[in-house]
Amino acid sequence: MQLDHLPLNQIAVIRAIDWESLPDQEGHRLRALGFEPGVTIEALHKGILMWRDPVAVRVGRMTVALRTKVAAAIDCELSA
Amino acid sequence: MTQISPLVALVGNPNAGKSALFNALTGARQKIANYPGVTVERKSGRASFADGRSIEMIDLPGAYSLDPDSLDEAVTRDVVLGKLEGHRRPDALVIVLDAGNLDNHLRFALELIAQGLPTVVALNMIDLAERDGLRLDAQALARALGVPVIETVAVRRRGLEPLMTALDGALKKSPVVIEPVATSFGAQNQRARDIARAAIISETAGRQWTRRLDAILLHPVGGVVILLALLFLMFQAVYGWSEAPIGWIESGFALLSDGIKNVMPDGLLRSFLTDGVIAGVGSVIVFLPQILILFLFILLLEASGYMTRAAFVMDRMMAAVGLSGHSFIPLLSSFACAIPGIMATRTIMDQKERLATILIAPLMTCSARLPVYTVIIGAFIPASSVGLGIGLQGLVLFGLYIAGILGAMLAAAVIQRFVTQSRTSSFLIEMPRYQWPRPGDIAINLWQRAWVFLRRAGTIIFAATVILWALLSFPKAPDGSNVSQVEYSVAGRIADGLEPIVRPIGFNHDIALALIPAMAAREVAVSALATVYAIDAADEDAAATSLGPKLAADWSLATALAFLAWFVFAPQCISTIAVTRRETNGWKWPIFMVSYLFALAYAAAGITYWTARSFGL
């Protein structure tokens, strides 16, 4: 399931990230912020009004905001 | 024998509490300058060991890695590697780690330690980590990293002494030469996570304040309402809270002026001091309270962690004009002053978005416009209420801010579409935990801002005021002439040339005159008007009354509104133009910026004037 479709407040693990689909800079910053396969994440909040974009995601003990377009490149799996 | 004291750099991820630690270690005596060759702000200060030996400390811009994404990060890398020309390499590093965020921050720490400089790690914000249910083993961490690890709480001054002692010890050891290990980003991350896991003694679900607050402040509807309410409160406060202190400053200057009049004989020197210096500089310093209130709000929003939430809330709307939430922070800072705003664009990764943000930053209503707005609004808009405790004057001011924002949004859309031709923008940002801002840190920052403003008033504004006074005072109109002194002077004659150009937009001769020195800085327009009217006054009593009533008597409402509209857009600030040139490496973009803004200002003033006239104002 792509991160932008992940239901809120449910723990998930990153399965894969499609680095190719991301512009270099965004991929680089995403890595620097700790997004990697195997990392536990949780979608916490979604953007305002009807857009529901960007999305705030917990990565480890950090919260990161990213646009749904980038979130779509992150494939994850709900933890049982 | 004099010895150069060691240079120690504080380095770490953004939001690790680096600046708070820097303030705690160096106290209020800090120097702000720029790094050589770049406009990144360099904060330095002195810290001392227990025995009194002192070191120079610098606060490097926050970074996520030594492989930079932004200009700020590039400076951090260059300083750490000793590659920044004209800047010596630090003798030691203090790596500031957010204790509550080890798994994400340790990777950068490993990268820094691998540089082989004497290093001490400050495990900062340990109290917040404990509040969040995290217990850490600093000793285990020190063993894994191979450098001393000291627990600190910068805001409570906890752990500072042990930190300095460890730093002293590290400096005394000879630097280790470490073979650079080429490891992949992923491998570094893995190692960082392993070390972090080993250092955690226990982990329980703590009180999740940040998460609960975010549920409210990032609420899809409530979050927007709260942000707008905050901004509205901020602008109302700028007006409401400043009334009393402004009164004190005004009476202070009036006393000073009267004092001089009592002890000095009437003459050129007395006119220079009272009409020139006191009237001019005084009319600008009077706005210090408003500027401080505005900065206070911005500093509080930043220190509490709310600023990135505001960026989150605004991102989608900014995206509509080709920008992102990243631009929101520099643009909000530009409400205080476009210069720090333009400098804050360095954190924007996308270069096209950065350029567009720089070009529209001067449209945000900076504090220098407040003097102009306040005088005109005070003179022409009645201080009545429109209900619900909202004053008409405050409402008009709010409208001017909105006009600037709408102008900026329109300009951004056009610029991103036709000038930079950017297709996408991006938004990717860490949202720090909420924190109570520490009064001491806010006070230091506020003092630094006030000082910058007063220095400006003391230099640029003083110089412009003196030159203008001279231009207005010479040559002297002959006695018994029916031409007034203002018309007769050099400035009057220059304004004669400018007047036909601005006449169609409703500006009179005095405005044409005030616009010339206001090129230096917008607020000079007020002191220029004050000088013009003080000198033109027939007697002392008339000169003693304040500027507002004089303008109200002299200008039509249509002219006053056109004057306001002009200042929403006009790029009248030499410093902004200079900083744009530096940040964009050339004259191309500042010239573009000045041209489009003057064109907008002329059009807006014209439309306002003729619309108002058609309503018979």
Contact B527, B253 (CB under 8 A): no
Mean pLDDT of B95-110: 90
Name the minimum distance, in Å, from the CA of A32 to any CA of chain B.
6
Locate all alpha helices (DSSP H) within B345-475, ordered by sequence.
351-360, 369-380, 392-414, 439-456, 462-473
Which residues are CB-neighbours of B162 under 8 A, at least 6 positions away? B150
On the question of pLDDT at B9 being above 90, the answer is: yes
Q: What are the percentages of helix, strand and coil residues in chain B, rounded to 5?
A: 65, 10, 25
In this complex, is the C-beta atom of A59 within 8 Å of any C-beta atom belonging to chain B? yes
Mean pLDDT of B242-271: 86
On the question of pLDDT at B148 being above 90, the answer is: yes
Residue of B69, B350, B427 with shortest CB distance to A28: B69
Whose tokens are 């965004």? That residue is A26
Interface-testing mutation among A3, A24, A29, A58, with chain B (most B C-beta atoms within 10 A): A29
Which residues are CB-neighbours of B596 under 8 A, at least 6 positions away? B359, B411
Q: Say if the Cβ atoms of A63 and B65 lie within 8 Å.
A: no
Q: How many CB pairs under 8 A join A and B?
A: 109
Strand, coil or helix: B549: helix
Which residues are CB-neighbours of B437 under 8 A, at least 6 positions away? B299, B300, B303, B304
Strand, coil or helix: B312: helix
Mean pLDDT of B538-542: 50
Name the minimum distance, in Å, from the CA of B198 to any CA of chain A.
15
B105 vs B591, residue with greater confidence:
B591
- Which of B354, B337, B369 lies closest to B412 in space, CA to CA? B354
On the question of pLDDT at B238 being above 60, the answer is: yes
Residues 16-35 of A with CB under 8 A from B: 23, 25-26, 28-34
Residues of B in contact with A31 (CB under 8 A): 185, 189
Q: Calculate the average pLDDT of chain B.
A: 85
pTM (global) more than 0.90 = no
Name the minimum distance, in Å, from the CA of B611 to any CA of chain A.
36
The DSSP secondary structure of B106-135, one letter per residue, reads: HHHHHHHHTT-S-EEEEEE-HHHHHHTTEE
B545 CB-contact burial (10 Å; exposed 0-12 / middle 13-18 / buried 19+)? exposed
Contact B74, B89 (CB under 8 A): no
On the question of pLDDT at B230 being above 50, the answer is: yes
pLDDT of the residue at B364? 93
Q: Say if the Cβ atoms of B221 and A53 lie within 8 Å.
A: no
Mean pLDDT of B426-447: 88
- Give the pairing of strands A55-59 and A62-66: antiparallel
Q: Say if the Cβ atoms of B426 and A33 lie within 8 Å.
A: no
pLDDT of the residue at A3? 92
Closest residue on chain A to B64 (Cα): A32
B347 token code pair: 């954190």
Residues of B in contact with A33 (CB under 8 A): 64, 104, 428, 430
DSSP structure class, residue B153: B
Mean pLDDT of B254-283: 82
Q: How far is CA B291 from the centre of its chain?
A: 10
B187 half-sphere exposure, CB direction, 13 A CA radius:
5
Distance separating alpha carbons of residues B204 and B521, to the nearest angstrom: 55
Mean pLDDT of B360-382: 88
Residues of B in contact with A44 (CB under 8 A): 211, 214
Mean pLDDT of B12-22: 89
- Which of B180, B109, B197, B187 lies closest to B148 in space, CA to CA? B109
Whose tokens are 């991103």? That residue is B416
Label residue B227 by pLDDT band (50, 70, 90): very high
The DSSP secondary structure of B495-524, one letter per residue, reads: HHHHHHHHGGGT--HHHHHHHTGGGTBTTH
Residue of B102, B223, B429 with shortest CB distance to A65: B429
Cα B181 to Cα A26, B111, B196, B230, B506: the distances in Å are 25, 10, 20, 49, 70
Helices B325-333 and B288-304 cross at an angle (nearest 10°) of: 150
End-to-end CA distance of chain B: 75
Mean pLDDT of B155-164: 90
B472 token code pair: 């207005």
Whose tokens are 């790094």? That residue is B35
Residue of A29, A53, A61 with shortest CB distance to B428: A29
Q: Say if the Cβ atoms of A25 and B185 lie within 8 Å.
A: no
AA identity, residue A5: H
Residue of A32, A51, A54 with shortest CB distance to B64: A32
Which residues are CB-neighbours of B572 under 8 A, at least 6 positions away? B515, B518, B519, B521, B522, B525
Question: In chain B, pLDDT over 70 holds for what percent of residues?
Answer: 93
Render pLDDT for B126-137 as a digit per residue (tens, 0 to 9): 988 888 788 899
The DSSP secondary structure of B445-479, one letter per residue, reads: HHHHHHHHHHHHIIIIIHHHHHHHHHHHH-SPPPT
Which contiguous run of DSSP H or E holds residue B136? strand B134-136
pLDDT of the residue at B543? 45
Cα B94 to Cα B167, B171, B210, B430, B522: the distances in Å are 8, 11, 27, 22, 42
Distance separating alpha carbons of residues B414 and B418, to the nearest angstrom: 6
On the question of pLDDT at B419 being above 70, the answer is: yes
A56 DSSP β-pair partners: A45, A65
AA identity, residue B88: R
Render pLDDT for B34-61 as a digit per residue (tens, 0 to 9): 777 666 778 899 998 988 899 999 999 9
Label residue B485 by pLDDT band (50, 70, 90): confident
Residues of B in contact with A3 (CB under 8 A): none
CA angle B216-A61-B125, nearest 5°? 90
Distance separating alpha carbons of residues B549 and B72, to the nearest angstrom: 48
Closest residue on chain B to A52 (Cα): B220
On the question of pLDDT at B359 being above 60, the answer is: yes
Distance separating alpha carbons of residues B567 and B522, to the nearest angstrom: 8
Q: What is the ipTM of this complex?
A: 0.95
Render pLDDT for B77-97 as a digit per residue (tens, 0 to 9): 999 999 988 899 999 999 999
Q: Say if the Cβ atoms of A54 and B315 lie within 8 Å.
A: yes
Distance separating alpha carbons of residues B516 and B39, to the nearest angstrom: 28
Q: Say if the Cβ atoms of A33 and B64 lie within 8 Å.
A: yes
Cα B76 to Cα A26, B15, B71, B83, B346: the distances in Å are 20, 15, 9, 10, 13
AA identity, residue B334: S
pLDDT of the residue at B181? 60
B566 vs B390, residue with greater confidence:
B566
pLDDT of the residue at B205? 65
pLDDT of the residue at B494? 87
In this complex, is the C-beta atom of A55 within 8 Å of any C-beta atom belonging to chain B? no
Cβ neighbours around B393 below 10 Å, total: 19
Mean pLDDT of B95-122: 91
Mean pLDDT of B502-517: 89
Residue of A23, A45, A61 with shortest CB distance to B101: A61
- Give the pairing of strands B7-12 and B41-48: unpaired
Interface-testing mutation among A11, A67, A74, with chain B (most B C-beta atoms within 10 A): A67
Residue of A34, A36, A48 with shortest CB distance to B220: A48
Residues of A in contact with B311 (CB under 8 A): 65
Mean pLDDT of B55-75: 90
| Backbone φ and ψ of B455, nearest 5° | -65, -40
Residues of A in contact with B97 (CB under 8 A): none
Strand, coil or helix: A17: strand
On the question of pLDDT at B198 being above 80, the answer is: yes
Distance separating alpha carbons of residues B452 and B368, to the nearest angstrom: 13
Q: Say if the Cβ atoms of A48 and B134 lie within 8 Å.
A: no
In this complex, is the C-beta atom of A9 within 8 Å of any C-beta atom belonging to chain B? no
Mean pLDDT of B463-488: 77
B121 vs B294, residue with greater confidence:
B121
- Which of B204, B201, B228 lies closest to B217 in space, CA to CA? B228
- Which of B261, B69, B488, B37 lies closest to A26 in space, CA to CA? B69
Q: Is the dihedral of CA B429, B221, B435, B441 positive or negative?
A: positive
B577 token code pair: 């133009």
- Which of B14, B208, B21, B6 lies closest to B123 in space, CA to CA? B21
pLDDT of the residue at B1? 43
Interface-testing mutation among B126, B131, B316, with chain A (most A C-beta atoms within 10 A): B316
End-to-end CA distance of chain A: 14
Question: Chunked in runs of 10, what are the mean pLDDT values of chain A (80 residues)?
Answer: 91 93 87 88 91 90 91 90
Distance separating alpha carbons of residues A19 and B201, to the nearest angstrom: 34
Which residues are CB-neighbours of B306 under 8 A, at least 6 positions away? B217, B434
Residue of B102, B189, B308 with shortest CB distance to A36: B189
Residue of B67, B103, B427 with shortest CB distance to A54: B427
Distance separating alpha carbons of residues B485 and B471, to the nearest angstrom: 11
On the question of pLDDT at B72 being above 90, the answer is: no
